[in-house]
Amino acid sequence: MKFAIFQVGDSAIATNAFARKLGIEVVHIPHPNKEMISKGVLYSPEFTCFPFKVSLGQMLYALEHGAEVFIIPKPGSVQACQLSDFGVAQKYILAKTGKKFEVILFDTLNPKELLAKFKKYNPHLTSKKIFEGLFLIVQKMALIDEVERYYRQIYITSKKKKAQAFKEKWFKIIERTDLMIELLMLPSRITMDFKKHPKIDMKNVLKIAVIGDIYTINEDGINNNIFERLCDLGVYCEKGIGINSFAQIKTNLAPEDIMLTKQAKKYLRHNVSAFAQDTIKSAIKFAEKDFDGLIDIYPFSCMPEITVRNILPKVASDYDIPILYLPMDEQTGDAGFTTRIEAFVDLIKIRKNKNNYAAAWTENNNIEKQ
């Protein structure tokens, strides 16, 4: 039987490794395109958010290309609606197509429980193989985020061609590396290769962080390639949240995370589902790291992110950092999107130059007084 696995961005590199460990065949699903999105919009209820429509379009594509079993994560709707509520609703919508299929809800990380779910598809499967598959997902998603971070830096210093070559090279290596020992050695190898490229002058470069919904940030097929656009403008950019967060078991034990959670609760006391609180934490984190601006990119009809959208102006005021708000849906046009980003970058440049001039003038004035 052919399987289809929920994916966002380049997560298929990791989930396909899991599938290989389980000995199952996976249908390749390309990044979202206009046809896929249109079909997802057609079958979705009008009030659902954009990621729901896009992921449904991908599932319909998989169904048309032979998928018979869908693997949809479901760790709990308090953490992320994309990984829980979506799967249940989409199961009923797909059933209306008349095609026969099965759904496996990935609702546990216990190898024995997962073995019970997948054993019928591979009688020779073992708990050890399940554990190894889970390890590959976690490690590979972390590596994907790291390679993309280096890619954006190389893009600024050495242009797109060299950055693309770096990313493609290491994505291929990550994809074919399924031995755990070899996978653990990859971070140092990737970093050594990255260090061969020129460094960014972090003091003078414009720094912008893109925060908001995890699906919209990490799926270039629906965010109008926002990171490439920023790199083209010479902007150093980071993601508020990477795809690695889909695979992480959150413990909130890291000192930085504990402090950020405490600070975020001043603005949003209760978790309103999805990664809403993470968006506020990201805004605070990058503001404290002296980033020059933030871009909040979110699905137009996403309740958690719209809630945060009304809180962020207070965060921006308290931390003195400008924020550009970019809602995304199937109607988002390319021209207006580009114009808003370019105008925002120009305004931040003016603001940064003015602040640098004021700081230099104050420093020179103090030296003269001494």
Shared domain for 32 and 101, answered yes or no, is yes
Shared domain for 15 and 109, answered yes or no, is yes
The enclosing domain of 88 has a CATH number of 3.40.50
Shared domain for 114 and 145, answered yes or no, is no
| pLDDT (tens digit per residue) in 157-202 | 999 999 999 999 999 999 999 998 999 999 999 999 999 999 998 8
Shared domain for 241 and 337, answered yes or no, is yes
Low-confidence residues in the chain, pLDDT < 50: 77-78, 249-251, 360, 368-369
Shared domain for 195 and 205, answered yes or no, is no
- Alpha-carbon gap, residue 281 to 305, rounded angstroms: 13
Shared domain for 163 and 192, answered yes or no, is yes
Side-chain-side CA neighbours of 270 within 13 Å: the count stands at 2
Beta bridge partners of 327: 298
The residue from 170, 200, 230 where one domain ends is 200
Contact 178, 140 (CB under 8 A): no
Shared domain for 294 and 343, answered yes or no, is yes
| pLDDT (tens digit per residue) in 39-66 | 999 999 888 888 889 989 999 999 999 9
**Where does the chain have alpha helices with state H?**
12-22, 34-43, 50-64, 85-95, 111-118, 127-176, 180-194, 214-218, 226-232, 244-247, 255-264, 276-288, 303-309, 312-319, 334-369
* The model scores a pTM over 0.85: yes
* 308 within some domain: yes
* 130 within some domain: no
The range of the structural domain enclosing residue 348 comes to 201-370
Shared domain for 170 and 216, answered yes or no, is no
| pLDDT (tens digit per residue) in 209-242 | 999 988 899 998 889 899 999 999 999 999 998 8
The enclosing domain of 361 has a CATH number of 3.40.50.11900
SS3 (DSSP) at 200: coil
Q: How many domains does the chain have?
A: 3
The residue from 125, 148, 172 where one domain ends is 125
Q: Give pLDDT, residue 247.
A: 59
Tokens standing for 71? Answer: 């693997």
Shared domain for 210 and 291, answered yes or no, is yes
